[in-house]
Structure formats: C-alpha cells, structure tokens
A = this chain, B = another copy of it.
C-alpha cells in the first residue's frame, strides 16, 4: 500500500521502519531530512510537504512533536487539508497531542469526506523499535478497523477507547499515572540515598510488593547509578503534563499531583535537564534539598 509518513524523529523513524519492512511503499516528509535517510535508503519517496504526501498515498500517519507542529501538518498552508486532489482517505495521528485538537482534525476530515483517528502510543523508543507499543485509538469504528492491520505492525496492545479525541484522553490518563509514580519514585529513592540504604536492594525488595511499578523496575536502577539518559525526555513529558492540565481544566478538574509534577519537571529543565530522562525529576528534589 502507498502510505504517507510525516515525522521521523526517534519514535517516528523506528515505527515507520516496521511498515517499510512489511513491504509498504512510504512517501514521507519530515522537518530534518537527515533523520529520514535510513527510510529513504530503504526505498521511501521524499515529499516536499504534507500536502504532497496526501496526494501520493491512501493512508497518512503523522508523528511529530508539539501541538503547534500537529496543527501545521494538518491545517498549515501546505498541510494535509490544503491538498487538492488528495488520494489519502484515512489520517492517523500518532503524536501525543491535545484531545481538542484531535477533535478539530476529525471534524475537518469528516467535512472533506475523509476519516481521522487519534492514536497516541506508549512504550518509548524501545517499544517503537521492537513493535511492542500500546496504542490508544479515538475515532469511529470503521476507520479503526481499516487502520488496525497497519497499527498491528507497530504495536501489541491496540484498542479503540472511544470517539474522536478519546485516544488522546487515554494518553492523558496514562501520563497522569506516570506523573504521580515518578514523584513517589524520586522522593523515595532520595530518602533511601540520604538514609544510606542500598537503593538496588530496595528496588528489588520493594518492587515485589505493593510499591511495585514499571517505573521502579525500569527507572529505579538508572536512578541508583545516577544515569539520567532518556528513555523518555523531560521536555516531552512537560509537554504532556501541559496537555493533561489543559484537558483537566476543560473537564473542570484541578489536579494538584500533576501540578506538583509540572513544577518539579520545570525545575529539572531549568537545571539543564530538558533532554534528560524523566528520572531527572530527582535532580529537582535534590536542588530543593541541598545536602547538609
């Protein structure tokens, strides 16, 4: 199938390769062409802009960074919706992006006789490479069924969670879960360190019980050895926390835990750790609590 691909960052490039490996013909555009070299070498066609991608393909996937980029890709002067004689009839946004924007894209698609899905992913760069992402999909059921064979090349747990925007709302729920867990994890390991306990022992011992979590198991060891390398970056998580707080506000909800996480992650970014992993939250706590 001729498939459009917009966005070849760490996640995007890794996911697109699964489609290419399955024999699909990719037509791609991305901000930094160098990041698409491997896909181009594998036979993908280069397009100058999203509109051109939409004119060359049946299905278009997008996975970019911030909401403003999503907006530009869909609604910009050379965006997907600007395309005359578009051949693409199904648009799937894999970016984590505001639910309201997803609903706006869906409405614009419907107005043009197209279908759109919001389909944010979780599982990080490892999940993208290994094809084990979880994908939360919002949109109508027919469009979901059409996208499913392609989504199955990318991830393992793929479910439609509701209508337009619901996939993004599910991702918001996911990031709120992670925000609370990260605050607890970093506070806990800071106490362990200052108390002179063996963090590695505690991660193993406590991880087997009611305190256990994916974050403790995967990021705990990085914290124990002072490794700030990203699985998932502070800058991107901060974007997601902003989306979560906006969505909460739209629902009439005040979320003090997410607000606290945002404050701490902003501090971590101000300390120069925007491109560190989310475990760098501990550096904000350390700054708040200088060693005596």
Contacts and interface: CB of A to CB of B under 8 A. Distances in A.
Given A162-B197, A177-B184, A202-B170, A253 B191 contact: yes
Interface stretch (A23-31, A46-54, A81-89, A204-212): A204-212
A279 to B, nearest CB: 12
A122 B206 contact: yes
Contacts of A113: none
A102 interface: no
A233 interface: no
Interface string A173-186: 11111111111110
Nearest to A172: B191
Interface in A131-158: 134, 136, 157
Contact of A162 (B174, B196, B251): B196
Contacts of A256: 183, 260, 264, 288
A37 interface: no
B122 A209 contact: yes
A289 interface: yes
A33 interface: no
Nearest to A123: B209
A100 B250 CA distance: 46
Interface residues of A, number: 72
B213 A188 contact: no
A251 B197 CA distance: 13
B122 A191 contact: no
Interface in A250-292: 251-258, 260, 264, 285, 288-289, 291-292
Contact of A161 (B161, B197, B252): B197
A161 B194 contact: no
A101 interface: no
Contact of A180 (B124, B159, B175, B181): B181
Contacts of A177: 184-185, 188, 206, 211, 213, 216
Max chain B Cβ within 10 angstroms of own Cβ: one of A123, A173, A196, A253: A173
A192 B173 contact: yes
Contacts of A288: 254, 256
A136 B197 CA distance: 12
B212 A214 contact: yes
Contact of A214 (B124, B161, B213): B213
Nearest to A194: B251
A3 B201 CA distance: 30
14 contacts: A161-B198, A166-B195, A172-B191, A175-B211, A176-B187, A180-B180, A180-B184, A183-B184, A190-B253, A194-B251, A195-B251, A210-B214, A212-B214, A257-B260
